[in-house]
Amino acid sequence: MAGKTQDGGLQFMIVPLDNEYLKAVPVPDDGSQVIFGCPSVPNCRAEVYSISWCAVTLPVDATDPVTQNLVFHDASADTDTTLLTGAAGALGDLLSAAGIAVANEFVTIWNGVQSLDPGDTIRSDLTVTTPTTAGEGGAWLIAYRIKDWNGQ
């Protein structure tokens, strides 16, 4: 069966974060990056089971939160659903001081089952104000399965 694993096992993908989002100056407005998607191929379907976050150097901001929300975009309905709302000291917090993120270690920030059909995406919306220590080498680890590929 082309395009599918024979055992339906989990696959893992590392998606790098554009380092520009975690620089101290200038900080991009409304940082948002698509981290997973399903191509617009007929009869294509994938399922995401977990999303983890890691960075070589974690961003630190003495006064403002550095957080991410995870948002599922349903292409057929043209709607967005928030899977994770990042908050200071909780999952989605990218600060080393919060005790959630650990440098050089993937920390799972979302678990569940999110099905994606053709054109659907999951993105990370970042809130970065003025980090006193710029982050570097950020990435997500996505655990997923290809459920259907063009009917095969």
Domains for the chain: give ranges and CATH numbers: 13-148 (2.60.120)
- Residue 79 tokens read as 């709607």
pLDDT in tens, 98-138: 567 888 999 999 999 999 999 999 999 988 877 778 888 99
Residues 3-51: tens digit of each pLDDT: 444 456 899 999 998 877 777 666 666 678 999 999 998 889 999 999 9
Compute the distance between CA of residue 130 and CA of residue 85 in angstroms, rounded to an integer: 20
Residue written as tokens 């694993």?
5
Of residues 90 and 113, more confidence is placed in 113
Look at residue 54 and tell me whether its pLDDT is greater than 80: yes
Contacts of 34 (CB under 8 A, 6+ apart): 121, 122, 123
What's the mean pLDDT when you consider all of the chain?
Answer: 85
Query: In the structure, what pLDDT confidence band is assigned to residue 2 with cuts at 50, 70 and 90?
Result: very low
